[in-house]
Chain A
Amino acid sequence: MSERITTVGVVGAGTMGAGIAQVAILTGFRVLLHDPIEGALARGRSRIARSVTRAVERGHVQAEVAEEALGRLTAVTRLTEMRDAHLVVEAAPEDLVLKQRVFAELDGLADPGAILATNTSSLSVTAIAGATKRPGRVVGMHFFNPVPAMALVEVVAGQRTEPAVVEQAMEVARRLGKTPVRAKDTPGFIVNRIARHFSLEALRILGEGRIGHDQIDRVMKGSGRFRMGPFELMDLIGIDVNLAVSRSVYESFFFDPRFRPHPLQQRMVESDLLGRKTGRGFYEYPETTQT
């Protein structure tokens, strides 16, 4: 049913958009990559080219395959070029008003039969779909960072998404080499909701002032066999990014106490201790260079 989907539009050439575009060209799709900011579009293209080159160097992809795949990537400066796409994946910043604007525009220029997918991690797919006259053809396809490495895609049906569209999204995800799961349009879907407690509860324990963050991380890795402890993970993702997601989920659940963030995390963000990207978070990263 999804075989007719051969051209995928990607809106947003940031980390997620570039990652999605890369995976799509490497699995045989033709990709139209767009970003309203010209510099960002060029950077996105370079990021993809560099990433594919690294994949060839590591033997994950053959050189001829990579070259041919990059030939199927077209950077487009105007959103109107998305009219040729059978599926458009939106990977714009996590802002509802912004995404609704993008979808309203796409609705006006994309092929009437095209599926419009959003990579939103925390916003309502139903609300985004509401900005279009084709909510039945709007679906959530939530990828995980880094896209080439993470197999999961959460496929989210909005209140009015047609079941056939959900199935097509599932099928495209499989063609992209991913493992899709179906999630209802609820705050945080599956992963961002359930994973909240990995950091929220760890912060509560830290906030009780009787054990250090490094000991908590040691216990979680040593007892639970998690790859990273909660505080190492927060430093990696960005303490501010983690707090923003926690706040979003907390508010979306109308302040259910389970999701209440911790003042300690707020203080860290206020003091600009954001993690690896600032050279210091819960831990120190002396080798971090400003890019």
Chain B
Amino acid sequence: MTRDVLVLGQSPLAAALADLLQSAGCVVHRPPTWPGTREELDAIFTDQGRREQYLRQLGEAYGDAEVVIEAEASEWMDPELPETTLILSAALGHSAAEAAADIHARHRVVGFGALPPVQKGQVVELAATPWTEAAAMDQAAGFFRGAGLEPIVVPDGPGLVFPRILCMIINEAAFALMEGVASAEDIDTAMKLGTNYPLGPLEWADRIGLDQVLAVLEGLQAEYGDDRYRPAPLLRQLVRAGQRGRSTGKGFFSYTTL
């Protein structure tokens, strides 16, 4: 099963999926012109000429891909894709329906949910949009099975099931840290030894990316209009300061390269 896959996004999730798919035998493309920062991306999209060039290059990469994975929210799903291309959109900061609404081939869009670390044997959530055709759902399930993941169909919505629940747990840990209830180390130790969590919530957040956690919470708050989802200010402060987790060397904890 050598699937040609295009993975869009610079997030830890995009990197984790790319690694998993590569080890499963897929040919994985990550667009070579991918800018390194939000600012660079914004610069490209405000410049008409650069935008057209970027989309053209993307279109060339798209053309070969059987599966396009939008691991991070993107605005560049313009190119007209072949009818057979499967589009998998991470339903984290928004529902799959919201992502599909802007995509030409919305009946080929399937929402999915996963967070790093993504390992063989794990479950991946799949969600149908109002327009998703049954064949696309089947194709998505088969694709993920081929990559060693077990697909489970869930209802569409920001954060689906696992990312939604985990981000609320992480959010509470951030509030507790912010309020000085305990140190970051003690919070993580407590959750692992007191209730058997596989990872401490703060180190888990560092692996996922604090901006990703923030996006899920903001997506839930926007969708439900409920203050229960309001992100801890500490999360915003760290993201604003560029401390997004492992990928930036610093999040709730510091990660020095030795």
Hey, which bits of chain A sit against chain B, CB under 8 A? 144, 150-152, 154, 179, 181-184, 186, 189-191, 193-198, 200-202, 205, 208, 210-211, 215-216, 218-227, 230, 257-258, 260
Contacts and interface: CB of A to CB of B under 8 A. Distances in A.
Nearest to B172: A194
Interface stretch (B4-12, B41-49, B92-100, B174-182): B174-182
A186 B154 contact: no
B186 interface: yes
Interface stretch (B15-23, B133-141, B159-167, B247-255): B159-167
A225 B122 contact: yes
A220 B169 CA distance: 13
Nearest to A233: B195
A215 B179 CA distance: 35
A186 B193 contact: no
A159 to B, nearest CB: 14
Contacts of A258: 168, 171-172, 175, 227-228, 230
Contact of A189 (B123, B181, B226): B181
A251 to B, nearest CB: 16
A226 B197 contact: yes
A184 B182 contact: yes
B183 interface: yes
Q: Contact size class for B?
A: 35 or more
A260 B198 contact: no
Given A194-B191, A194-B201, A198-B165, A181 B186 contact: yes
12 contacts: A154-B194, A189-B182, A190-B186, A194-B190, A195-B191, A198-B165, A198-B195, A211-B154, A223-B113, A224-B198, A257-B226, A258-B230
9 A-B pairs closest in CB distance: A222-B123, A210-B155, A181-B186, A152-B193, A197-B168, A191-B194, A152-B194, A223-B162, A190-B190
A182 B162 contact: no
A218 B166 CA distance: 15
Contacts of A150: 193-194
Given A179-B193, A191-B190, A222-B122, A186 B228 contact: no
A170 to B, nearest CB: 11
B152 interface: yes
B114 interface: yes
B194 A190 contact: yes
A189 to B, nearest CB: 7
Given A218-B123, A258-B228, A195 B169 contact: yes
